[in-house]
Amino acid sequence: MSKALLLAARSRSTIESHLEALECHFTWDLNASRSKLFHIRDQLQDIGSEEGYSWLGHMYNLQGFLHQQLGFVEEARRFFGRATEAFRQMRNTVSDEGPWLVVNYGNLAWLHHLLGEPAQSRYYLLEVSVLMEVYPSPCQGELHPEICVEKAWTLMKFDKKLQAADYFQRAVRMQPDMVEWQTSRVLASASAFNPHMKAQRTDVLEKMKIAREHDPENLYLAALYLEACAAKGQEVEEEARALARRVLRKPVSSYSGINPLLRLYRRFISIDEAIDLAEEALERHPDARYMKRCAAICYWRRIFNQSGNHEQSMLDRAISLCRDVIRLYPHSSLKTQIHLAGLYAKCQQAEADRMFKDLLTQDLDPEEAQMLYNCYAKYLHSTRKDVDQSIENHMMAAAIPHPSSYRQDSILILRKMAGKSRNRRCEDIEEFLSHLED
């Protein structure tokens, strides 16, 4: 190798080692399937710029990373640029530079490196070095609190709740005056221990109460807190209805509190009132796709959680909403497609069969495949009365070696079937489960 080539190789190696040492999205082990990346992208879009204002820089940073991972390079470049501007505008300081730009500049260093633009990559590496020297962490050996917070916020989106809670805790310990950080730490802890607030731990519930008092404008937290209280047997109807009036006045957003509020209504007050609330929100915001998704869930729950026949008008409304959601979320609507197939099973069985068969031909990630096999198995058992094929699909869900609630549910159903001596497939199921457990 010539001297020039050797020097170039060493230069590339040095740059890569510096890039690997950065604290940014490209080094945080944010591994996810393509469908999961699209799902997170849609989640971020549903936050909106108004409700998520304090997290706008973090949102744009993550959007940039997601788009780069998905192969949309120009969109990635645009979002990283928007993140830079958002951070500069959000921080009311004399200088528009600060530690909040470390992750953003790290992302830009990586992006230019991946695009084969070494000069620009080295520029941002130098900028990161300068920022870290000028703005060291207040605690030696710890990441700067601004970096901790962005890492925590990002990990939340990838369902790494316990890690997120830990990083929020570190940031709060170093900078306890940031109310939104305190709130986010509590939310991360609450969702890590109990994602649906079914029976929240007493100490976490107390922390939610304190956070709510310190951050009274956070209606998402308020709705989660009331749901947790209701799960403990407390009476919350009056507070829930007052909160609903406040939520309805806000822009539709996944941060507005409408989704946990509707879940609270469905589980502890009245599912019909939940539908009324969702329809009122849709009247105020008829083009809000997130609201259509929330309303579709309410109708689906109403139809599948209550026995007996349902009015055709309710089925038609549920089908219409699901079709809208599938159109508005083309890359992250598998669950809604399964729900729609289930709705058609109530009125157009041939269409339900066609939908399930189409879905079974799709290229799905492991958890999506488990969800589809599990739901199709239940459809085959309850609607088609095809026990053998239902068993086969539960086996297919269970055979995928990925931990999920759908896999566990299929395994539990198979065990129950194996325990019924009148089922002629008992031996087949028992043999399958024995190999599965090995």
Contact 80, 104 (CB under 8 A): yes
What is the reported pLDDT for 253?
93
DSSP 287-306: T-HHHHHHHHHHHHHHHHHS
Note the pLDDT of residue 437. 61
- Name the burial class of residue 168, with classes exposed (0-12), middle (13-18) and buried (19+) by CB atoms within 10 angstroms of its CB: buried
pLDDT recorded at residue 194:
63
| Confidence at residue 202, expressed as pLDDT on a 0 to 100 scale | 81
Residues 6+ apart with CB under 8 A from 381: 387, 390
Q: Which structural domains are found in the chain, ordered by start?
A: 12-135 (1.25.40.10), 364-438 (no CATH)
Q: Please tell me what DSSP assigns to residue 251.
A: P
For 388, other C-beta atoms within 10 Å of its C-beta total: 11
Q: What's the pLDDT score for residue 5?
A: 37
- Alpha carbon 323 to its chain's center: 21
pLDDT in the model for residue 93: 59
Q: How far apart are the first and last CA of the chain?
A: 52
What does the alpha-carbon distance between residue 47 and residue 234 come to, in Å, rounded to a whole number?
A: 30
- DSSP E strand boundaries for 174-249: none
Residue 193, pLDDT score: 62
pLDDT, residue 131, reads: 96
Q: Show the beta-strand stretches assigned E in 125-213.
A: none
Query: What is the distance between the alpha carbons of residues 257 and 252, in angstroms, rounded to a whole number?
Result: 9
* Tokens coding 202: 């007493």
Residues 392 and 355: beta-carbon distance below 8 Å: no
Distance of alpha carbon 338 from alpha carbon 329, whole angstroms = 14
Which DSSP category does 286 fall into?
A: T
Q: Check residue 12 and give its pLDDT.
A: 65
> Long-range pairs for 116-120 at CB < 8 Å and ≥24 separation?
118/11, 118/12, 118/15
Q: Which residues of the chain have pLDDT under 50?
A: 1-9, 438
Inter-helix orientation angle 289-305/271-284, to 10°:
160
Q: Please tell me the distance from the alpha carbon of residue 248 to that of residue 244, in angstroms, as a whole number.
A: 6
